[in-house]
Amino acid sequence: MTHVLPDAADRFSAFAERYDSVRPRPPQELADFLRQWAGVAEPSVVDVGCGTGLSCTIWPEVTGVEPSAEMRAVAARRGVRVVAGSAEETGLPDACADIVTVSHALHWFDADRAFPELARIMRPGAVLAAFDYDWPPAVDPEVDAAYRDFEATHTAMEAERGLRPTFSPKHEHLERLRRSGLFRHVNEVCLHMKETGSAERFVDFATSQGGVVALLKEGVGEDELGLTRLREVTARRMTERTTWWWTCRVRLAVR
């Protein structure tokens, strides 16, 4: 498999601040669950591909690993101890983690190199938790339909213009972890959370994707991209504090 993480770092580095302002934080229940799953009350936690540190906010102490200097800078301002590295080369010592988390990033990893590296830094019995949010958050049927149209449009445009990166489908995460032979138990659970957000944030969230940013930089108009309609629908259907309902899908692998 092609090593694609540097491409991921490049795609998100250019808008680290915007990414940080609109993406969701994980539910606190995730930390509680992982402590129980790992059987450690005060775990040593490593967050790989930590980005701006949003995924680190549920832990009192955590070490973040991130290849993008722009993302690391935002994480450091948040107070996260973050080191330069990747899933394939974390630079961390053997058996240093009770819990390793990966938020919205496992699909970028070169599994043949990353899985052995993640297993190396995990203690016996340690837990790898790779989690993603189901997109978009549930708001109402009209907003959902408008987002799905926007998603289909920008995905097709990315493919047509050669902007669609190589990554592993998320629905294959469990099977890839099992096939690695590095983990004694693999499973998936779903946690749910809610937050509030405005129509403006919903649209900003929709554009916080590398491919969408690339299309806008190439001069694709918001009408053509479906953003104008998304703005109109969200402005009509959402308030300043509309509830967003999220599903957090967690793939678990025990060392």
Going from N- to C-terminal start, the domains of the chain cover 5-254
Angle, CA of 229, 170 and 15, to the nearest 5°: 55
User: What mean pLDDT, rounded, does the chain reach?
Assistant: 92
pLDDT at 199: 96
pLDDT at 165: 73
Stretch (H or E) spanning 73: helix 69-77
- 93-126 pLDDT, tens digit each: 999 999 999 999 999 999 999 999 999 999 999 9
φ/ψ bin of 196: left (φ > 0), alpha (ψ from -120 to 50), beta (otherwise): beta
Strand partners, 97: 122
Owner of token pair 């009209």: 142
Q: Are 220 and 150 in contact (CB under 8 A)?
A: no
5-254: CATH topology: Rossmann fold (3.40.50)
Higher pLDDT, residue 88 or 20:
88
pLDDT at 12: 55
* Amino acid, res. 92: L
- For the entire predicted model, the pTM comes to 0.90
What does the pLDDT average to over 235-247?
A: 96
* Burial call 118-140: b when 16+ CB within 10 Å, e when fewer: bbbbbbeebbbbbbbbeebbebe
Asked if pLDDT for residue 166 goes beyond 90, the answer is no
Strand partners, 186: 253
Stretch (H or E) spanning 133: strand 122-133
- Cβ-Cβ contacts under 8 Å for 211 (sequence gap 6 or more): 11, 154, 155, 158, 163, 164, 165
